[in-house]
Amino acid sequence: MSGAIASGEAAYQAALRQRRRATLLGFALLALCLLASARVSEAYPATLLAGLPRIGEYFSRILPALRWDSLLAGTETEGSLAFWMYRLDSWAWLLLETANMAALATLMGAGAGLLLAFPAARNLGAGTLAYQLSRRLLEAMRTVPEIVFALILVWAFGVGPLAGILAIALHTAGACGKLFAEAIENTGLGAWAGVRSAGGSWAQACRFAVLPQVAPNLLSYALLRFEINLRSASVIGFVGAGGIGEELYKVISFNYYEEISAILLLIILAVCAIDLLSERLRHRVIGALA
């Protein structure tokens, strides 16, 4: 008996040593890959240390010169909040335009992603051709960044929000379609089999058997994507796609430092507000559907 225990302990220790060696080898390979990546991308520690003071210098320039004695004075008084936010009405309208772009793009992209998610789900048996085509299309749409889509669409449709909406919608369709398909693949197929055995078509089974089960997850993904799209809508304005991003690009180009910080603060507050609102809405709707 003691011999069997000793033999088992020796086998365990040998397996443990082998696992440790494999782990150390994996970490060594990872370290080599990171070093090679840093060398190729020229991300040297000396360069990073040299650039950090310049980042601090830039942030010190964009901070407003507020003074306590004139903080609540009018727009004509330097050092006041009103002087810092002297174009608040214009910026607020551009923020509203950006939020509208994000909302419409999310609605369009999530709708297209939902239609492609059902044939892209492996467990629903849409057929090899439909599965491959939908999967490759979703991959193509989410691989190309929004800003690249925006550059192409600005050339096609001209400067304005339309190019931004379409660019974000295309990327949203690819991203949401993948998440939706994975949610569908993780659902049970009992109701699906029931609808199909009762004579329902493939589309009817998707609508009445699968969609009600995955609707809370799909809504959660769509609302999360709306939060992401608000940030994206702010960025693609840099290429003329409308919204607050276009104004931010102008003030950065002309080095209007205090205006940069004012617009950045408004974008952060808008994103935080929409994040909180989306979170409350998501929990409320998911609780009602669950």
Per-residue model confidence (pLDDT) at position 29: 92
Other C-beta atoms lying within 10 Å of the C-beta of residue 64: 18
Long-range pairs for 58-64: beta carbons < 8 A, 24 or more residues apart: 61/257, 62/257, 62/258, 62/260, 62/261, 62/264, 63/258, 63/261, 64/258, 64/261, 64/262
Per-residue model confidence (pLDDT) at position 290: 56
Q: Tokens representing 209?
A: 């058997």
Per-residue model confidence (pLDDT) at position 2: 61
Per-residue model confidence (pLDDT) at position 4: 66
Per-residue model confidence (pLDDT) at position 137: 93
SS3 158: coil
Per-residue model confidence (pLDDT) at position 260: 87
Per-residue pLDDT of the chain (290 residues; tens, 9 = 90+): 566 666 767 777 788 888 888 899 989 999 998 888 878 877 777 777 777 778 778 888 888 888 787 777 777 777 787 778 888 888 888 888 888 888 999 999 999 999 999 999 888 887 889 899 999 999 999 998 888 888 888 888 877 788 888 999 999 999 999 999 999 988 888 888 888 888 888 888 888 888 888 888 888 888 888 888 888 888 887 776 677 888 888 888 888 888 888 888 888 888 788 778 777 876 776 666 55
**Does the structural domain 87-289 have CATH classification 3.20.20.70?**
no
**Single pTM value for the model:** 0.76
Residue ranges of domains in the chain: 2-62, 87-289
Instruction: Give the DSSP letter string of 242-272.
Output: -SHHHHHHHHHHTT-HHHHHHHHHHHHHHHH
C-alpha distance from residue 143 to each of 149, 183, 260 (Å): 11, 20, 30
